[in-house]
Amino acid sequence: MSTQAHYKRPGRVEVNTFHRLVRFLVRHGVSLWGARVLSVRGRKSGELRSNPVNLLTLDGAEYLVAPRGHTEWVRNLRVAGEGELRVGKRVDRFTAVELPDADKVPVLRAYLKRWGWEVGMFFDGLDAKSPDEELLAAAAKFPVFRVALT
């Protein structure tokens, strides 16, 4: 499997329980450790598609990391270049730029430090203490977008 095709599909229990719970809480204004509901236009349908995500703030910039790899929301965001992040009634529109692999290491490390307990299973043994070389070697598997709120 190429790194470009890297994708770990969520299990039924996760989608039916965890995602729904996080989505419900975030829609009602409760953000768990930076959780947001991401909405992006579908690249084929043109309809808004929504997923719970973790918004990382690092050195004054904000990032979206795709721990499951090259998911549908990633593919849609690449095409759309913009979307919305929601918490309760608050809606933040944004534009996004995908980072090159060489720039992902500090973002991946910070993401794993903050949410490794939640997403570590998708990182194939990597964690916040992994050497830079190992994070760089895996960077192509994990899309990262710098988000600019508009």
- Under the banding of pLDDT at 50, 70 and 90, the label for residue 1 is very low
Looking at residue 103, which CATH number applies to its domain?
2.30.110.10
Question: Does pTM top 0.85 for this prediction?
Answer: no
Does 4 reside within a domain? no
**Per-residue pLDDT for 7 more than 70?**
no
Q: Residue 129 falls within a domain, yes or no?
A: yes
5 lies in some domain? no
Domain count, the chain: 1
User: Each residue of 78-113: b (16+ CB within 10 Å) or e?
Assistant: eebeebbbbbeeeeeebebebbebeebbebbbbbbe
Residue 16 pLDDT: 56
Mean pLDDT check: name the lowest of 2-6, 40-44, 95-99: 2-6
Q: Which domain holds residue 99?
A: 12-149
Span of 28-37, 56-65, 89-98, 100-109 with lowest mean pLDDT = 28-37
